[in-house]
Chains A and B, each alone.
Chain A
Amino acid sequence: MSDTLNLVLFSGTDDKLQAAAVLTAGAAALGKRVNIFLQYWALDSFRADRIDLDHGLAPEAGEAGRAAVDALRAAGQASWKYTLAQAKELGDVDIQACSLSMDILHIEESDLDPIVDGVEGVTAFYLNADDGEIVFI
């Protein structure tokens, strides 16, 4: 088993980001290095002025899914942002914005929440991936 987990986050809805944050925190607790590469709508959700907003759910969630997620939230489930912050505190978690997505969405580095560590291209992402598995969410 590789010591590095690599996540490419594409979707910007709260359910997918929550799933990604849980995978990240679990890996960090096991001492794995985690590289996160933010593309498209996931990147958009990491804008400083949007990160705390409601980002909706994937279409398959439907009304029942929405209700289930709301109930979990009301019961005090940690947000994906908080879960990621905890994972960063615990282990070696690096969150990078995809430079092409930055251009497409007209995002400047100063627009991003400080939880994002920097901006890189896909080549740097592959180099850092270190032969570990790459998961696309």
Chain B
Amino acid sequence: MSTLQVAKTVDAKGLSCPMPIVKTAQAIKEMPSGALLEVLATDAGSQKDFVAWAKSTGNELVEQTTDAGVFRFILRKK
């Protein structure tokens, strides 16, 4: 488990594509630059989606882990 201090968590467990990314994009809009966002998702596609989304939007994917079928992403707002 990471000890990073996250400012906000988006629980997207059970949501299918593209809702985890949509909820993430909505949440990060309201956060200050440099703040950390944690996202929890179960959609298998989200593993590649978050890499692509971070690359395209310039937000940094700091950490990506899996625990018991739940994917956890830590993103730093651009």
Residue of A nearest to B56 (CB): A30
Q: Determine the interface band of chain A, counting residues with CB < 8 A from chain B.
A: 10 to 19
- List A residues at the B interface (Cβ < 8 Å): 22, 25-26, 28-31, 72, 75-78, 83, 86-87, 89-91
Q: Determine the interface band of chain B, counting residues with CB < 8 A from chain A.
A: 10 to 19
- List B residues at the A interface (Cβ < 8 Å): 14-19, 21-22, 24-26, 29, 53, 56-57
Q: How far is the CA of A29 from the CA of B15 in the complex (A)?
A: 16
Please state if B14 and A29 are interface contacts (CB–CB under 8 Å). no
**Known interface pairs A28-B25, A90-B29; 19 further A-B residue pairs with C-beta atoms within 8 A, sorted by A's residue number:** A25-B22, A26-B17, A26-B18, A28-B22, A29-B18, A29-B21, A29-B22, A29-B53, A31-B57, A72-B16, A75-B16, A76-B15, A77-B16, A83-B19, A83-B22, A86-B22, A86-B26, A90-B22, A90-B26
Q: How far is the CA of A83 from the CA of B26 in the complex (A)?
A: 13
Contacts of B19 in A (CB 8 A): 25, 78, 83, 86
Contact pick for A87, options B15, B17, B22, B57, CB 8 Å:
B22
Please state if B15 and A78 are interface contacts (CB–CB under 8 Å). yes
Please state if A76 and B56 are interface contacts (CB–CB under 8 Å). no
Q: How far is the CA of A78 from the CA of B19 in the complex (A)?
A: 8
Please state if A76 and B14 are interface contacts (CB–CB under 8 Å). yes
Please state if A90 and B25 are interface contacts (CB–CB under 8 Å). yes
Measured CB to CB, the closest approach of chain A to B28, in angstroms, equals 10
Please state if A25 and B18 are interface contacts (CB–CB under 8 Å). yes
Contact pick for B21, options A26, A72, A77, A89, CB 8 Å:
A26
Given A29-B53, A30-B57, decide whether A89 and B18 contact each other with a Cβ distance below 8 A.
Answer: no
Measured CB to CB, the closest approach of chain B to A86, in angstroms, equals 5
Q: How far is the CA of A99 from the CA of B12 in the complex (A)?
A: 39
